[in-house]
Structure 1
């Protein structure tokens, strides 16, 4: 079941906050990575009908082999619930999941290994890129060059900074 899902669909995990220290630690390569901000609305075909709020539960979904012999709708509903449910301990993430069907889409233009499907990373959908406070300057320069090359002058560029007076993260414009 995992192989079928992995070959036909992609899951992009998104959050509503870019200043959460735990999110940067867990998913931002310990503040060395970056965060991409998208403007999400139903007029954007990359997101329309594909974005789901994660539900946080006390008990996990239990998989059993019988579900594989269930009617298609029951199997599909079960898989959807598995994909959009997490342990309650992760509730601070305020996560949404974008579920993309890759049928007919190939990553042949990707230079990443493994290949990266860039269907939602088109510059017109990106509005802001935020670099972690420990992000390497060479990497920041590469992203700036990419934005210029794409003609994506609308993309705002920021870097996380540590607030010296409080345990807070702040943004510094680096455009």
Structure 2
């Protein structure tokens, strides 16, 4: 029997986090408000020029692609998760210095609940993501595929630029082990309580906050939840999670 994969969302203990659970809504943010200013910047003219130097198209086609990219980047919604709940930097940065908690979602159920949605694991690299786009354009130009959808059409190039831009971050962010769920439009989207698999309390979370959260999620629809609390490992720098 396959073990369900969990993806994790670190949260402060505050009104917004409580509303996330009680309203069963996730916020899919537009790229412009993400915390890394280097993300999703492919619409910069000099960056697109590096692609056009390797793939000649008319100026009107360039204008059309650039216009479409700007529209899509203003509309798309991104909800970020991590593939680990054991990273101390994540607890410090996103869970109020270990005073918050971490929600474990069943990845398969969450994707099913929020359809249509696209899941994408972030790739970490030093180079800008346009190199990969250029390499694929060159490859398909030299090895034309039989299926039209893999050829160097305007639609395929636009999709490739979007996917590469949204799914690539600088190497220094690698510790996050980020996976993203993408929606065509940003906004709040509902999920089913069955998508939530576990709640883990941070190392410094106040006992009263733990009691409050458990009381708020004490209804029948949350009876399946697994509860954990973080503790220091006894012989090295790290965390372990004890079921409670």
Distance 1:51 1:127 in 2: 18
- Does the CA-based 8 Å contact 1:39-1:125 persist in structure 2? yes
Aligned residue in 2 for 1:35: 102
Q: Which residue of 2 aligns with 1:110?
A: none
Task: Give the whole-Å Cα distance in 2 for the aligned partners of 1:5 and 1:130.
Answer: 36
Separation (CA, whole Å) in 1 of partners of 2:120 and 2:237: 31
One of 96, 112, 126 as aligned partner of 1:44: 112
Aligned residues: 153
Q: Which has the greater radius of gyration? A: 2
8 Å contact kept, 1:41–1:47: no
Q: Separation in 1 of the partners of 2:205 and 2:97?
A: 9
Query: How is 1:4-23 mapped onto 2 (pairs within 5 angstroms)?
Result: 8-23=75-90
Unpaired runs of 5+ in structure 1? 63-70, 107-116
Q: After superposition, where does 1:92-171 map in structure 2 within 5 Å?
A: 92-102=175-185, 117-120=188-191, 122-149=192-219, 151-171=221-241
Give 1:49 deviation, angstroms. 5.2
Inter-partner Cα distance in structure 2 for 1:150 and 1:34:
21
Which structure has the highest helix share of the two? 2
The equivalent residue for 2:167 is 84
Shift of residue 60 of structure 1? Answer: 2.9
Report if the CA contact (8 A) 1:40-1:47 is conserved.
no
TM-score (norm: length of structure 2): 0.53
In 2, Cα distance between equivalents of 1:14 and 1:101: 18
Moved runs in structure 1, 4+ residues, more than 3 A? 1-9, 71-77
Per-residue CA distance 1:2-61 (angstroms, 9 max, x = gap)? 496687443221222111212212222211121111112277242675111111111235
Structural RMSD (CA): 2.9
Q: Is this contact kept in 2: 1:55–1:84, CA < 8 A?
A: yes
- TM-score normalized by the length of structure 1: 0.71
Q: Is the partner of 1:148 in helix, strand or coil?
A: coil
Q: How far is 1:171 from its partner?
A: 1.1
Q: CA separation in 2, counterparts of 1:75 and 1:171? A: 43
